[in-house]
């Protein structure tokens, strides 16, 4: 199977791109796929620490581009999951050391070897963004239910559409049911109505994300955490499964439309 290239982007920083990339990589690898994730945030690398692989870096993306190593040598294999790899970003270089055509070439080289290539984008709409969008087959736009994050997501979606890339799908991260219940947070429906693109995931605001990031052990490893479960659901939707979205019940808790879905997904 030729790999699909999935780029995770947002416009605004800090909305959860790197967290999403790491967790989707883990969730897809747990589904039995061979997954490579690429840190496209050159100069501000983070995917390595979120995945807990920071001590294993020898070569990075810029070393591959500048022919100091072969692609294989820059792929760090995760020890927890057989088929999960990371290509880290260079930390001491800037975005201009990689071009969109370098990214396309690297992804093309990987396409026949793996099932999924996930690319984490930097914040912004400059070179780094264009690098990560260039090879993408699917673009996941991450936003938070807040005015500035939604506005920046709209801008990114417009840019992606102008480049005729896509499909573009939306992930709403850090949804807080208690705030929604009080009327102090945009609902997922509001955000989807404003941005008018297809929704692929709703991730609750969950302290387990911070705890798991502290440990370098993405929350998708935790079958019982709400955020981990939500990431697993996105992985299933990416591979084509129909998974109902989590719903807010009248107590303000997350509930699944289909009873037992959480248990089922946690297997």
Ligand X SMILES: Nc1ncnc2c1ncn2[C@@H]1O[C@H](COP(=O)(O)OP(=O)(O)O)[C@@H](O)[C@H]1O
Footprint of Mg ion (CB under 5 A): 17-18, 46
Residues paired with residue 37 on neighbouring β-strands, in sequence order: 86, 118
* Burial class of 147 by CB neighbour count within 10 A (0 to 12, 13 to 18, 19+): exposed
For residue 221, the minimal CB distance to another protein (Å) is 33
Which CB atom, from 34 or from 201, has the smaller least distance to ligand X? Answer: 201
Q: Is 14 in the site for ligand X (CB under 6 A)?
A: yes
Among 78, 174, 197, 229, binds ligand X (CB under 6 A): 174
For residue 13, the minimal CB distance to ligand X (Å) is 5
- Site map for ligand X, 177-216, x if CB under 6 A? --------------------------x-xx--xx--x---
Q: How many CB atoms neighbour CB 100 within 10 A?
A: 14
HSE of 188, CA atoms in CB hemisphere, 13 A = 22
Q: Which residue, among 167, 226, 219, has the nearest Cα to 197 in the 3D structure?
A: 167
Between CA 216 and CA 213 the distance in angstroms is: 5
Pairing of strands 138-143, 254-256: unpaired
64-91: burial string, b at 16+ Cβ within 10 Å, e else: bbeeeeebeebbbebeebebbbbbbbbb
- The contact set with another protein (CB under 8 A) reads 146-147, 150-151, 154-155, 157-158, 161, 180, 182-187, 190, 194, 196-197
Q: Is 252 in the site for ligand X (CB under 6 A)?
A: no
What DSSP string describes 90-102?
PSSS-GGGS-HHH
Which CB atom, from 205 or from 222, has the smaller least distance to ligand X? Answer: 205
Among 3, 5, 7, 17, binds ligand X (CB under 6 A): 17
If contact means CB under 5 to 8 A according to the sort of partner, which of ligand X, another protein, Mg ion, none does residue 10 touch? ligand X
Among 227, 235, 246, 248, binds ligand X (CB under 6 A): 227
Which CB atom, from 26 or from 203, has the smaller least distance to ligand X? Answer: 203
Between CA 213 and CA 116 the distance in angstroms is: 22
Which CB atom, from 135 or from 204, has the smaller least distance to another protein? Answer: 204
Q: Is 132 in the site for ligand X (CB under 6 A)?
A: no
Number of H helices, E strands in the chain: 12, 10
If contact means CB under 5 to 8 A according to the sort of partner, which of Mg ion, another protein, ligand X, none does residue 173 touch? ligand X
If contact means CB under 5 to 8 A according to the sort of partner, which of ligand X, Mg ion, another protein, none does residue 174 touch? ligand X
């Amino acid at each position: 199977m030729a790999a699909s290239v999935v780029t995770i982007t947002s416009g605004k920083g800090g909305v959860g791109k790197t967290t999403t990339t790491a967790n989707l990589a883990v969730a897809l690898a747990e589904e039995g796929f061979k997954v490579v994730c690429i840190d496209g945030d050159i100069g501000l690398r983070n995917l390595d620490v979120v995945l807990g692989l920071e001590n294993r870096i020898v070569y990075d993306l810029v070393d591959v581009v500048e022919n100091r190593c072969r692609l294989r040598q820059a792929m760090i294999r995760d020890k927890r999951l057989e088929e999960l790899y990371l290509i880290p970003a260079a930390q001491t270089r800037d975005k201009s050391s990689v071009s969109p055509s370098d990214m396309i070439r690297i992804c093309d080289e990987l396409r026949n070897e793996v099932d999924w290539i996930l690319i984490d984008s930097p914040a912004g709409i400059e070179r780094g963004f264009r690098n990560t969008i260039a090879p993408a087959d699917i673009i996941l736009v991450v936003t938070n239910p807040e005015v500035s994050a939604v506005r920046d997501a709209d801008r990114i979606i417009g840019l992606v559409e102008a480049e005729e890339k896509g499909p573009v799908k939306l992930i709403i991260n850090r949804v807080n049911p208690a705030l929604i219940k009080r009327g102090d947070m945009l609902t997922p429906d509001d955000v989807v109505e404003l941005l008018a693109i297809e929704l692929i995931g709703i991730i609750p605001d969950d302290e387990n994300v911070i705890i798991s990031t502290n440990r370098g052990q993405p929350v998708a490893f935790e079958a019982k955490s709400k955020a981990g479960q939500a990431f697993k659901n996105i992985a299933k939707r990416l591979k084509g499964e129909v998974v109902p979205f989590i719903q807010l019940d009248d107590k303000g808790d997350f509930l699944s439309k289909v009873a037992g879905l959480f248990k089922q997904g946690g297997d």
